[in-house]
Amino acid sequence: MIRAAAIFVVSCAMGAVAGAQSLCYRPEPPPDVAPPDDDPELRALLNDEYARYLLDVEDYLNCANDEARDVMEESREVLARWTAYFGAEAGIRAE
């Protein structure tokens, strides 16, 4: 009964953590099309595509850095809890 309750608590906690994770979407690069000299409209459109991509890349990198920072902090907390709970038993064994 205690084991079942512990499994329930752990699975609920894992669901809460998974729900809190953010998703970082890598932007699609602009098409590799050289801007024509004789079509200012298309040239402006392509220029906007490149500018939008670079702004989106900045957002993506900030998101990925935030996610990495959160995961590192979380893993330190889990490691501390693991060693506190299991002491010398806490160890990763290679198979």
Quick one: CA dihedral 10, 12, 16, 18, positive or negative?
A: positive
Name the pLDDT band for 86 (thresholds 50, 70, 90): very high
The reply to whether 64 falls in a domain is yes
2-32 pLDDT tens trace: 655 456 555 555 555 555 567 999 999 999 9
Return d(Cα 38, Cα 58) in angstroms, integer.
Answer: 31
Q: 46 lies in which domain range?
A: 26-89
The reply to whether 14 falls in a domain is no
**Domain count of the chain?**
1
The reply to whether 19 falls in a domain is no
The reply to whether 63 falls in a domain is yes
Tokens of 26: 């890598």
- CA distances 38 to 41, 49, 67, 71, Å, are 9, 18, 44, 50
Q: Residues 57-81: what's their mean pLDDT?
A: 97
- CA distances 95 to 4, 83, 92, Å, are 27, 21, 10
The reply to whether 2 falls in a domain is no
The reply to whether 95 falls in a domain is no
